[in-house]
Amino acid sequence: MSTVLLIIAITLIGPIIGSYIGVSRKFSQNQVFGMLSFAAGIMVFVSVLELIPDSIARSSRLFSLFGITIGCTLMFILNQLLPHYHHADHLIKNKKEMRTTAIFVFLGLLIHNLPEGMAIGIGSLSDFRLSIMVALAIAIHDIPESVCVSAPYYFATKKKWKSFAVALSSSATTIVGFLLTYFLFRNLQPLTLGIITSATAGVMMYISVFELLPSAFDNGLARNKIIANFIAGALFVAVLHGLAA
């Protein structure tokens, strides 16, 4: 149980920081998108070094590829159907629509965060170290998402703590996804678990390649800084992977 509580605590760090930043407006765009590119490096290399090899070992290369395709397709569909942003500046230009926009982004995140929580849970089924890395990457990734809820809601209502609470509560489905996976998927057949593990890799790689890195490139962060932060995230995973080998 202590392991579960620690992972939940790490998962909540990002939404707490992002929710606070949104109501205080004390943040640097370069810092936000630097964190996104760092999280992208973690997610990609966790997928390549940990999740995909584990999936192949449990099933096969073909089933692993099938799972990756499922994960990427799921995130593509969610992003087409639901509002999903990584920076709040473009959300706060029209004050009349701020509160409505924040609510729709909040609802989108509730659904979008469920597979992210499941990714953390899948990591925990392999080993504790992997679940910590996945939880950390998801937490960093959730910082700007929480800003995109708390900032427009606060500017529309002028209620700081309510805005903070609304934004933070969007992480509830992350916790639900983690707990469901952690407690319900432990006794799955190796083939099924292998497909789910590679689907998790697909989710994380999609988030990295089609959300985090484009957000960093499109919002003015210098290309060399994006690459440096991405490599730093990759090296972080590589070091932990080497230490555990």
Per-10-residue mean pLDDT of the chain, 245 residues long, equals 84 90 71 77 86 90 95 86 59 56 71 82 76 84 79 79 89 90 82 87 87 75 85 84 61
pLDDT at 134: 84
**DSSP reduced 3-state for 158:** coil
Task: Specify the pLDDT at position 142.
Answer: 83
Give the pLDDT of residue 25: 65
CB 40 within 8 A of CB 213: yes
219-243 burial, b for 16+ CB within 10 Å, e for fewer?
A: bebeeeebeebbeebbebbeebbee
Rounded Cα distance between 48 and 52, Å, is: 6
Expressed as residue numbers, the domain containing 206 is 2-22+29-244
Determine contact, residues 212/85, Cβ cutoff 8 Å: no
Q: What is the CA radius of gyration of the chain?
A: 17
At 193 the three-state DSSP class reads helix
With 0-12 / 13-18 / 19 or more C-beta atoms within 10 angstroms meaning exposed / middle / buried, residue 74 is middle
Those residues whose C-beta lies under 8 Å from the C-beta of residue 48, and which sit 6 or more positions away, are 201
Whether 237 and 41 have beta carbons less than 8 Å apart is answered as yes
Chain CA centroid to CA 44, Å: 12
**Residue 205: CB atoms within 10 Å:** 22
- Provide the token pair at 235: 């090296």
Strand, helix or coil for residue 17:
helix
Task: For residue 245, give the amino acid letter.
Answer: A
CA pseudo-torsion sign 206, 211, 214, 216: negative
**Number of domains forming the structure of the chain:** 1
Cβ(22)–Cβ(146) below 8 Å? yes
pLDDT of residue 138: 85
